[in-house]
Structure 1
């Protein structure tokens, strides 16, 4: 057997070996880093500026029992076809902070001190600090509803209110439902305890918005009940441009978009939630209004288009220049 190795090949091989040796010793590879970029994203919207801050990933575990209305194998295929884990649904928690010029408005406050869904949540205050936003600069905090992962960051471990200068906004039906002490003996106990811990300390600073009301300049509430009794989405308009903050209208960018009538086990009224989902997504798609979802992949901003009996979410490209 003849081995034909050219002089050029040997020289190239020698150069490669030499490059990997320093003083006769093998050069160490670069160390792996355990850090990621800061967990905020900023974009302009008309004359306003939006800073999205994260409360951290929220793992739900396997989809079985949580997403109801399709066979297990179909749900598994929907996930794997989109290169998503079929064994653990992981949601993001994306809160927009909208600088309207005269007011700084935060939508939803994350899990706060609760670790009901694991250790990765509760970083909203850290994300705000990374973005250069101080909690005392927030003028208004708007809750889409009073679930544990949306009202949890109002107070710290000691019960101190973290937004000392803010007015707080919520639907009265949701406030009444989730702070009802009479539900403490029900399966909702943990949700009730957490809502009372965070909402009662700011009771004297609460305002109740209504369906269709522009309760802050450029911010309109639109009722989308079912997930909770008082769940709303919000149309945010500046200089003639609008986008919709969806709150929990839809929790998953594949499952509850392709099959919007599928039920979600955390909905108070799953059938009503499905009706709200279809109605609102249809309106947003027809009017080509950009959307931002609390639980979609980071940073949760994009568009909704109609797709047969369901919908399709198209994430907007991130733009890292302002």
Structure 2
């Protein structure tokens, strides 16, 4: 993978009117952010502890619909040294209620990336919109036999008997999450390489467990030649900049998630490093500014 191959216009049946991939570099590390599509989500799920009037005002201020909004799904492909690393895998295509998500396999091909070239997969956590792509043909059947899947040990352990007592999810999502995670562990257990706190999967590609959203939730920090970028998974959602104390219904430990979010955004605001996250508007590449008791998302200018 190179910038020449990842940024060129691909002609033919895979052409799309809306861009679905964005290439950038972090020093010597090549990064391709790919949109897996969008999920419809009830707006209240994004801020379960917010006052209804405050949430309504925020949605109106952001020009978002008041009841159901589209939740972006971003995945990344990272090339460092001899490694080609897939960071999360999107939703997959086994969920007919979400027809606008699950685009990863098609869009990898459109970007000129052979799934067999992927040496490693990094998973921020085991929610279905992060692992589903690895469970469907088009990707699963094209992966190399020596593929290594990196995951925090606490995450694998959690999904053996997951606790949803502090989540606020619409039905039947908890059962679907539980079933999908169990299927994933059954299929990929022999390929898992777990880590406790941190693990460097390739030069300048560091996995770090944060917990919060799930017990083993992790972020991926890229650093090379004085540049850095963090793929934050579900540590931050769109409302989490203005209102970092607002809790997301998918968080298994909302209080710890709040602490993780504030700490991460504070670190990024202080360092000026770039941020990418799963559910921020594509391509989600941005910087963070501290503003009063909250933060501000500053989208980067597209580099043409």
Q: TM-score, normalised by structure 2?
A: 0.86
Higher mean displacement: 223-232 or 160-169: 160-169
1:319 positional shift? 1.3
Shift of 1:157: 5.2
Indicate whether 1:319 and 2:303 are aligned.
Answer: yes
Aligned residues of 2:115 and 2:139 also touching (Cα < 8 A): no
Deviation at 1:69, TM superposition (A): 2.2
Give runs of aligned pairs for residues 289-300 of structure 1, distance below 5 A: 289-300=273-284
CA distance change for structure 1 residues 36 and 158 in 2, over 3 Å: closer, same or farther?
A: closer
Counterpart among 222, 243, 246 of residue 232 in structure 2: 246
- Checking the alignment, whether the CA contact within 8 Å between 1:151 and 1:199 is kept in structure 2 is no
- 2:39 is aligned to 58
SS, match of residue 264 in structure 1? coil
Structure 1: runs of 5+ lacking an equivalent? 1-33
Which of 89, 114, 127 aligns to 1:147? It is 127
| Bigger Rg over Cα | 1
Q: Is the 8 A contact 1:171 1:210 kept in 2?
A: yes
SS in 1 for 2:91: coil
CA 241–210 in structure 1, closer or farther in 2 if over 3 Å, else same: farther
Q: Indicate how the Cα distance of structure 1 residues 196 and 258 shifts in structure 2: closer, same or farther if over 3 A, else same.
A: same
Would you say the 8 A contact 1:154–1:199 is kept in 2?
Answer: no
State whether residues 163 and 252 of structure 2, in contact with CA within 8 Å, keep that contact through their aligned partners in structure 1. Answer: no
- Aligned pair 1:199/2:185, yes or no? yes
Preserved contact between residue 147 and residue 195 of structure 1 (Cα < 8 Å)? yes
8 Å contact from structure 1 (residues 59, 117) kept in 2 = no
- Quick check: 2:81–2:203 contact (8 Å CA) kept in 1? no
- What CA deviation, in whole Å up to 9, does each residue of 1:206-242 have, x standing for no partner? 1012323324321112222111011011111122321
Do the aligned residues in 1 keep the contact of 2:210 with 2:260 (CA within 8 Å)? Answer: yes
Q: Are residue 276 (structure 1) and residue 260 (structure 2) matched?
A: yes
Which residue number in structure 2 is paired with residue 111 of structure 1?
91
Return the offset for 1:260.
0.5
Secondary structure of the equivalent of 2:177?
helix
Aligned mates of 1:181, 1:68 — CA distance in 2: 20
After the TM superposition, which residues 232-243 of structure 1 pair with which residues of structure 2 at under 5 Å, given as runs? 232-243=218-229
Question: Aligned match of 1:138 in 118, 123, 136?
Answer: 118
**How much has 1:108 moved relative to structure 2?**
0.2
Q: Tell me the residue number matched to 2:30.
A: 49
Alpha-carbon RMSD? 2.3
Match of 1:308 among 274, 285, 292: 292
User: For structure 2, which runs of at least 5 residues remain unmatched after alignment?
Assistant: 1-14, 165-171
Question: Quick one: structure 1 residues 132 and 59, their matched pair in 2 at CA, closer, same or farther if it must change by over 3 Å?
Answer: same
Q: Cα gap change, 1:194/1:246 in structure 2, threshold over 3 Å: closer, same or farther?
A: same
Higher relative contact order (CA 8 A, sep 6+): 2
* Residue 242 of structure 2 corresponds to residue 261 of structure 1: no
Aligned to 2:5: none
Shift in Å at residue 127 of structure 1? Answer: 1.1
The structural deviation recorded for 1:114 is 3.3
